[in-house]
Amino acid sequence: MSSKIKILPIVLSFFGLWIATKFSSEFEVVLGFILILSFGILHGSNDILLIDSLSNSKAAYPFVKILSIYLLTVLTAVVVFYFIPILALVLFIIFSAFHFGEQHWENRALQASKWINNLFYLVYGLLILFLLFIINKTEVIEVVKSITEYNINERLITYSTITVGSAFILLSLYLIFKSETYKKDILKEFFYILVFFIIFKSSTLIWGFTIYFIFWHSIPSLFEQITFIYGDFSKKNILLYFKKASPYWVISLIGIAGVYYIFKDQKLFYAVFFSFIAAVTFPHSIVINKMFAHKKTQPN
């Protein structure tokens, strides 16, 4: 990953922190949703092109096929969120956590077994999410209530955060002795976690999530995808990627607007919004995992 892409999340994070100190929480929420529905959805909208790049055989009707699968996935996610929301929410957190951790660490050889790497990706992603959750416990409880109709206890969030934090420390100690790469990066990574804490502490739940999801995950993911599909990251290839992704992105926006219109009198907005994000996250995390696995098999 280029040095510019590596430094960009830090610069944008401090810009996001400035917004948190200068503007109202209502502005943060609106801007957060705009960024999530633009860059956030866009970074998961080009899975069909990634699948095509990973496959030796070309699908005859890729658009129709992906559209059908996509709409079925959205419908399935909405149904699961509607009828078994607590299960859907737990799966969404697990898939998102692993996806975040894998994106953040995959380019660095941790010199551990595959299952240790995967466990570390999951624990790292959970650490980021639960750091956000424990700082915004009241908001999180309200969101979970709106989605699942369950009233979770603050202690559940606290104990979960302690458990995840302890697991992260234990895995870090193991990797310090096992991996020279991790030993070299550990102080920098703890600095990043401190930055996340400051940002989450100073922001609303949605804005804090947006800063990590967009600046630390979606933008680096776009860089990875464009480089993988086209061979290098350039203005020309950025435009090609956006051109290919735009139909699926527009369909995504129409889909979430349509689902919200249908269910707006029965479920709160958070339930519809997160069900849609989950519908994108589940297949997207699998495709990205396959992309990273494919990259490892290619000669440098």
Q: What is the pLDDT of residues 124-157, one digit of tens each?
A: 999 999 999 999 999 899 888 877 888 899 999 9
Tell me the Ramachandran region of residue 111: left when phi exceeds 0, alpha when psi lies from -120 to 50, beta otherwise. Answer: left
Residue 257: predicted pLDDT: 75
Residue 74: predicted pLDDT: 66
Residue 107: predicted pLDDT: 77
Q: What share of the chain is helix, strand, coil (3-state, %, to 5)?
A: 85, 0, 15
Give Cβ neighbours of residue 200 (< 8 Å, ≥ 6 apart): 131, 132, 135, 136, 208
pLDDT, one tens digit per residue, over 175-215 is: 998 888 888 888 999 999 999 999 999 999 889 999 999 99
Residue 178: predicted pLDDT: 86
Q: Delimit the domains of the chain by residue range.
A: 3-295
Q: Which residues of the chain have pLDDT under 70?
A: 1-5, 45, 48-49, 51-67, 69-71, 74, 259-260, 262-276, 278-280, 283, 295-300
Residue 72: predicted pLDDT: 76
Residue 287: predicted pLDDT: 74
With CA atoms as reference, report the closest residue to 211 among 25, 6, 40, 27: 40
Contact 175, 181 (CB under 8 A): no
Give Cβ neighbours of residue 201 (< 8 Å, ≥ 6 apart): 135
Distance CA 272, CA 263 (A): 8
Distance CA 44, CA 275 (A): 15
Tokens standing for 258? 């349509």
Residue 208: predicted pLDDT: 93
Residue 142: predicted pLDDT: 85
Residue 57: predicted pLDDT: 47
Residue 7: predicted pLDDT: 83
Confidence (pTM) = 0.85
For tokens 């948190």, the residue is 20
SS3 50: helix
Contact 238, 227 (CB under 8 A): no
